[in-house]
Amino acid sequence: MSELEPVEAVAAMPTTGTTIPNQAVAPPVQGGAIDCPTCGGSLSGGTSPPLYIYAIGRLEARFPLLAVEKEFAQAAGRTETTGLTDRQTLHRILSQREYRYLARQLCWVMTIEGLETYIVAPRDPSDLELLIEAVRPNPRATDVDIVIGVKGPIAPPTLCNGLTVPIVVFDQLYSFDVDSLVASIPRPQNVDADQFKATAEEVFNRVIQIGDNAGATDEHRALNYLSVRYPALYAAVADGQARNASLSAVEARSSALSGTRRIVEIVFSFTNRTSDVVEKSFARVDVTEEFPFLVTKLSPYFDR
C-alpha cells in the first residue's frame, strides 16, 4: 500500500445510511439544498455555505416514540430470542426484512466521547440495511463509526424523543473496530508487531480524544481524515519512538497557501526523551469540499 492509499479497514467499507426518524424517506434534495420536512428548514442553510462533517464516534439506535418501542416489543415477542442479549435481540429483529419498517422509524444518534452530538440521516434512504449492520450484536469499547456529511439545523424536540442536537445528512458512513484499523496499516519492517499495534492504538485514541473534536471544524476534519486514511502518520510515530522520541504535540492550523481553497496544516511534534530536542513534521490537507484529501505528504517542518 502506498502512502496515499486509504486504510483498508475504512476504504473497503460501503456507504451506509438510514432515513430520518418518523419519515418514510430521507430529506429530498431540491435545488442543491437538502430539505428537512420535520425541522422547518434546509440542511444547507439556504444560501449559506454547507457545513461539512467528518466525525469519529459511535452510533446508537433509539426509539423516538413510545409507540415505536411498544411495536418493537411485540416484534420481539414473535421472534426467537431466547438466550440473546438486548443488543443481540435488537440486531436480530432489525435484520429481518419484515421488520425493516421499524428500522426506518428509529432515531440514529452519534455520540462522541460519550456525548450526544448528532442525529444522523442519509442522503440516500436505500442504505438502511448497512446502517443496521452498524448495530453490532456484540459491541466492544473499540468499535468506531465515521460519519461524513453535511451539518444541518438543530433537531426539533419531536424528532428524537426530546433530543435537540444538530442533524447531519451523511454521504458516507464507515463502521469498524480499532483492531481492524490497526491491522490494515502497513508496519515498518524494523518495528515489532505488538509494539506497532500499541503505538497505532495510542495515536488513534489521542486524535479522537482531542478536546471538542466533533469533526465540524476544518482543523478537526483534516485531523480525523489523516487518522483513518493516511497510514504514514502511524509509521512516523513508530519511527520516532524507535529514536527514543515521543509524540508530544499535535497542532492544526490554516495554511498560508489557503486562497480559493481551504488548506489545513497538521503539525506533529516529536520530543527526544533524553535531550528534549523537538523535531516537527507536517502534512497538508485540503478541506474545501465534503471529502478531504491529502495535498502534501508528511514532511519535515521548520518554524518560521
The pLDDT tens digits of the residues spanning 189-216 come to 888 888 889 999 998 988 878 768 999 9
Helical residues (DSSP H) of the chain, grouped into ranges: 8-11, 66-77, 86-95, 100-105, 128-133, 178-184, 193-208, 218-229, 232-242
Complete DSSP assignment for 117-139:
EEEEEESSGGGHHHHHHTS-SS-
| Distance from the Cα of residue 197 to its chain's centroid | 21
What single letter denotes the amino acid at residue 157? P
Q: Tell me: do 136 and 220 sit in the same domain.
A: no
- Which residue, of 177, 210, 243, is where some domain finishes? 177
How many Å apart are CA 237 and CA 280, to the nearest integer? Answer: 11
How many Å apart are CA 230 and CA 297, to the nearest integer? Answer: 9
Structural domain contains residue 2 = no
The pLDDT tens digits of the residues spanning 69-91 come to 999 999 998 888 888 898 899 98
Q: How many CB atoms lie within 10 A of CB 120?
A: 27
Domain holding 207, by residue range, is 185-301
Strand 245-254: give its sheet, edge to edge.
Answer: 245-254, 263-272, 278-286, 293-301
Per-residue pLDDT at 139: 87
Cβ-based neighbours of 273, under 8 Å, separated by 6 or more? 244, 245, 246
Q: Tell me: do 286 and 162 sit in the same domain.
A: no
Q: How many domains does the chain have?
A: 2
Q: Which residues of 150-184 are buried (b: 16+ CB within 10 A; e: fewer)?
A: bbbeebeeebbbebebbbbbbbbbbbbbbebbbeb
Q: Could you tell me if 244 and 274 are in contact, meaning their C-beta atoms sit under 8 angstroms apart?
A: yes
The pLDDT tens digits of the residues spanning 248-290 come to 999 999 988 888 899 999 999 999 999 999 999 999 999 999 9
Q: Mean of the per-residue pLDDT values for the chain?
A: 83
Q: Tell me: do 145 and 119 sit in the same domain.
A: yes
The pLDDT tens digits of the residues spanning 115-171 come to 999 999 988 887 777 788 888 888 888 899 999 999 999 999 989 989 999 999 989
- Count CA atoms within 13 Å of residue 182 on its CB side: 20
- Which residue, of 141, 160, 177, is where some domain finishes? 177
